[in-house]
Structure 1
Amino acid sequence: MTEWLDAALAYAGRWMDYQMKAAEQPGCVVAVAKGGTVLWERAFGVADLRTGEALTAAHRFRVASHSKTFTAAGIMKLHEAGCLHLDDRIGTHVPGLHALVAETTIAQLLAHASGTMRDGTRSPHWQVRAPFFDEAALRAELARPLAIDANSRFKYSNLGFGLLGLAIEAITGEPYARWITREVVGASELASTAPDMPLAAGTPLAAGHSGRMPFGRGAITGDQPTFALAAATGFVSTAGDLARFFASLDPAAGSSVLSVASRREMTRPHWEVPHQSESRHYGLGTTIGRVDGHVLVGHGGAFPGFISRSAMVPDWGIGLSVLTNAIDGPAHAWLDGIVSILHRFAGHGAPSPAVAGWAGRWWSLWRAIDLVPMGDLVLAADPAGLKPFADATEIEATGPDRGRITLANGFASHGETVERGFDASGTAGRLFLGGSEWVADPKDLAVSYQKPV
């Protein structure tokens, strides 16, 4: 597996370079982990547009609803210890709730099936106009009735996970942040992860950014504490830590803070997410979907100035994480794109010596393409595509500088020849796919414009 995975991740880095420029994103960090070890991580762009500080893999990001997976893992640890049962009514652990809220179960809260309001009657904290709820404010919202009947459908709720944080405090007799740090974060050996702000002085923290407004991106510091909503959205972490943590939730993982039975319960589908074009399910603190036939189990996060997504892929026994520091960061699409790249390499294998030298990016007036060797073929990928190998042209190399297009879209050059042109130094500078000419250096594009008559 290592050879094809290494080749796939090398191309994933090149693809992400292009995607970052095309999307005009401030920064992104990507990591892949297996067996408790980070296999690959890359930082792209800047930590803060105001200063131009280079982003590194050590920078912390607000990872928002990833917090729910940590909280769910904490609840499952308490379940394993016999301190609670998933079918317990939450009111047996947390007093002062509306009668209907009190009747909901821990399992319903974990699976977002409790019917609890999403964010409360008002949630200005998501617009950075007010602090996040403290315990008194959260309890005031939980004293209100359910929005819909419990156990009637999937309905996402930050308040529900805030309530689970209160339950952890009531059962353990400790503050949520202290207990979860020791029992889940520390036990998972995640040295760069914390359940909320503030961080220790000197800890590198990426700044968040707004979307590309007509007047440009604005900076959002991202250092606000989330108080009683930390169990739902407070966590701060790195891509490397998250990739390792989500890999450890695979029931087949060799090491985890949870039993195999708990991991199976967390990561199996409990509810289908309704009214959504793409089929997705929710487990206990986890989202479950598919990319190119591969199951992905993980979570996303949206915090003012940050979008993130992490997942484990049981087929390969790996965890992935993509963190962005802008509110329009395409973390979800990029994670899916990386999985699609891995899928192609897993199917074809690492490039053979006969085609390894064909790798490179080529340019025309119309667009760029990447020649990507894998197995005994060369694929022409679209670096601008969110799945770069969708409908990719396949090339059979017939020599070091010649080949034939053996598979292409009907509108492309199926069956035609391929030729590379080399300069005196032996560097490939021209590529012909059928009759279409491409150059290795975009500066060599000869573009002329006629003035209108």
Structure 2
Amino acid sequence: MADWLQPALTYARSWLQFQHRVHDLPGLQCAIRGDGKVLLDLAIGKASLASGAPLTSDTRLRVASHSKTFTAFGVMKLVDQGRLRLDDKAGQHVTGLHPDTADATIAQLLSHSAGIIRDGTDAGQWQGRRDFLNEAELRAALADAPLIPANTRFKYSNHGFGLLGLIIEAVTGEPYATWMAREVVSPAGLAATMPDAPVPEGTPLADGHGNKLLLGKRFVVPMAQGTGALAAATGFVSTAKDLTALIAQLDPAAPASILSVGSRREMVRRHWKVLDSVIDRHYGLGTIHGGNGDWAWYGHSGVFPGCFSHTCIVPAAGLTLSVIINAPDVVPATLVEGLIEILKVFKANGAPAATLAPWTGRWWSMWGPVDLLAVGNKVIVAVPGQANPFTDASEIVEVKGNVGIVGKATGFTNYRETARLETDGSGKPVALWLGGIKLLPEAEAAAETGAKFQVAATT
């Protein structure tokens, strides 16, 4: 393990724990994998606020549209076996389709460029108003005309991936879930993954939870329902640890994968730019792409009622990251990108100098906390409540013992002022001074603030 990686993982854990706390999330699961090993396996909070069951790293959660990556693995395995071709027309394998949909290719379905409607004309399954479509209902919807011509632009479609599930069944002669479990899930080494619910009795499955604003408090959203003919688009049940094991196998340079190198390259190539979005995103074959340069990534996100997830690999760094939250308050992709920023900073600066050991930890004032992070020969003043804790971060340099200089800072803060650790008789830091601002450990800051200000009543 690189010398910078362990301190980066230590801070990643601390930052996620604070994000869980500041957003008052029910539960959060995270895994980071590198060199074929799990480097971080974290579970925080509750699997269910109703039962009080704790969330563990083995608790299963709904991972929704990660199912599209699983389905793409299945399709590409059939391509590797010579049983499918990417330029096959959908109508070669499934009858009853609208002629334009029948003319769409496998590659267009995988890349969401077939022009098919996203969720049909009644998407009530996403709000608990109806069950997910059965096969007859999906086939009836696929008999309608696509909304735009194929190969026009990226247009996300759960119905399109439902059609891919029907194609897998037609080619293999088996139910989608049966074939996927045997030919994708098992050989990929995923012990906690299933193509759809319900899960076997006794298997730990988290509840989903709604946001607190609508009813004034969280409500529980059961996640044990099956997804019918849309399992290929949204059915999978898994864990953050299993998701990193799968997504790591997308890397064409991965030493082991259930797919050929050629199939992996085609899956992770950027086929389409996602238009009309302020966030720079692209789509491959069952893969979402983001970032640039050495920290570019690909993987997928998932949104299920009461449960959000995101998993990606950063091939140049050799790291795969996954975050699952059983509530909708925070977008997991934002947390994963925050983790990537943490890894970037530690890698760029290196492991901390031994002399900076006292310059670590969380310090509080009535304004909230800051984190001191020693990296290389400097100390970064991070803000753990931010999506990127290093946005406009100050840096303490020229550290000698317990004193340093704020050598980098925005013009609104403490540039070139003194930073100082105040210590007790044993040399333990008990306060941090940034210029004229004094920060304390959380308990002391809470006591001081509580003594000076009236605590507002809550409703």
Instruction: Give me the TM-score of the superposition, normalised by structure 1.
Output: 0.97
Counterpart of 1:25, as a letter, is: L
Residue 293 of structure 1 deviates from its aligned partner by 5.8
Partner of 1:223: 224
Counterpart of 2:250, as a letter, is: L
CA deviation vs aligned residue, 1:22-79 (integer Å, no higher than 9, x gap) = 1111110010012332111111111111122221101001000000001001111111
Partner of 1:9: 9
Q: Tell me how far apart the structure 1 counterparts of residues 104 and 286 of structure 2 sit (CA, whole Å).
A: 16
CA contact (8 A) 1:107 1:284 kept: yes
Partner of 2:174: 174
Counterpart of 2:340, as a letter, is: V
Q: Which ranges in structure 2 are unaligned for 5 or more consecutive residues?
A: 455-459
Partner of 1:62: 62
Residue 148 of structure 1 deviates from its aligned partner by 1.1
Partner of 1:341: 342
Partner of 1:318: 319
Partner of 2:190: 190
Residue 246 of structure 1 deviates from its aligned partner by 0.7
Matched, 1:330 2:327: no
Partner of 2:281: 280
Q: Tell me how far apart the structure 1 counterparts of residues 299 and 39 of structure 2 sit (CA, whole Å).
A: 18
- Larger mean Cα displacement after TM superposition, 321-330 or 98-107: 321-330
Counterpart of 1:117, as a letter, is: I
Q: Tell me how far apart the structure 2 counterparts of residues 294 and 172 of structure 1 sit (CA, whole Å).
A: 38
Partner of 2:158: 158
Matched, 1:119 2:119: yes
CA contact (8 A) 1:308 1:324 kept: yes
> Counterparts in 2 of 1:204-223, with a 5 A limit?
204-213=204-213, 214-223=215-224
Q: Tell me how far apart the structure 1 counterparts of residues 73 and 368 of structure 2 sit (CA, whole Å).
A: 46
> Counterparts in 2 of 1:239-278, with a 5 A limit?
239-278=240-279
CA contact (8 A) 1:194 1:237 kept: yes
Partner of 1:382: 383
CA contact (8 A) 2:23 2:329 kept: no
Q: Tell me how far apart the structure 1 counterparts of residues 261 and 245 of structure 2 sit (CA, whole Å).
A: 17
Q: Tell me how far apart the structure 2 counterparts of residues 272 and 170 of structure 1 sit (CA, whole Å).
A: 31
Residue 397 of structure 1 deviates from its aligned partner by 4.9
Partner of 1:53: 53
Counterpart of 2:230, as a letter, is: L
Q: 1:441 to 1:425 in 2, by over 3 A?
A: farther
Partner of 1:294: 295
- Larger mean Cα displacement after TM superposition, 322-331 or 253-262: 322-331
Q: 1:82 to 1:155 in 2, by over 3 A?
A: same
Q: Secondary structure at the match of 1:398?
A: strand
> Counterparts in 2 of 1:411-450, with a 5 A limit?
411-445=412-446, 446-447=448-449, 448-449=452-453
CA contact (8 A) 2:358 2:429 kept: no
Residue 292 of structure 1 deviates from its aligned partner by 8.0
Residue 443 of structure 1 deviates from its aligned partner by 3.1
Q: Which ranges in structure 1 are unaligned for 5 or more consecutive residues?
A: none
Residue 375 of structure 1 deviates from its aligned partner by 1.0
- Larger mean Cα displacement after TM superposition, 52-61 or 291-300: 291-300
CA deviation vs aligned residue, 1:267-310 (integer Å, no higher than 9, x gap) = 11000001101111000000001068611100000001100000
Q: Tell me how far apart the structure 1 counterparts of residues 22 and 155 of structure 2 sit (CA, whole Å).
A: 35
Q: Secondary structure at the match of 2:405?
A: strand
Identity of aligned residues (%): 48
> Counterparts in 2 of 1:2-41, with a 5 A limit?
2-41=2-41
Counterpart of 2:217, as a letter, is: G
Partner of 2:309: 308
Partner of 2:457: none
Instruction: Give me the TM-score of the superposition, normalised by structure 2.
Output: 0.96
Q: Secondary structure at the match of 1:358?
A: coil
Q: Secondary structure at the match of 2:58?
A: coil
Q: Secondary structure at the match of 2:196?
A: coil
Q: 1:425 to 1:54 in 2, by over 3 A?
A: farther
Partner of 2:83: 83
Residue 441 of structure 1 deviates from its aligned partner by 2.9
CA contact (8 A) 1:253 1:317 kept: no
Residue 366 of structure 1 deviates from its aligned partner by 1.5
Q: 1:40 to 1:291 in 2, by over 3 A?
A: farther
Counterpart of 1:227, as a letter, is: G
Q: Tell me how far apart the structure 2 counterparts of residues 321 and 441 of structure 1 sit (CA, whole Å).
A: 30
Counterpart of 1:127, as a letter, is: Q
Q: Tell me how far apart the structure 2 counterparts of residues 130 and 438 of structure 1 sit (CA, whole Å).
A: 53
Q: Tell me how far apart the structure 2 counterparts of residues 86 and 251 of structure 1 sit (CA, whole Å).
A: 18
Counterpart of 2:98, as a letter, is: H
Q: 1:444 to 1:145 in 2, by over 3 A?
A: closer
Q: Tell me how far apart the structure 1 counterparts of residues 437 and 37 of structure 2 sit (CA, whole Å).
A: 44
RMSD: 1.4
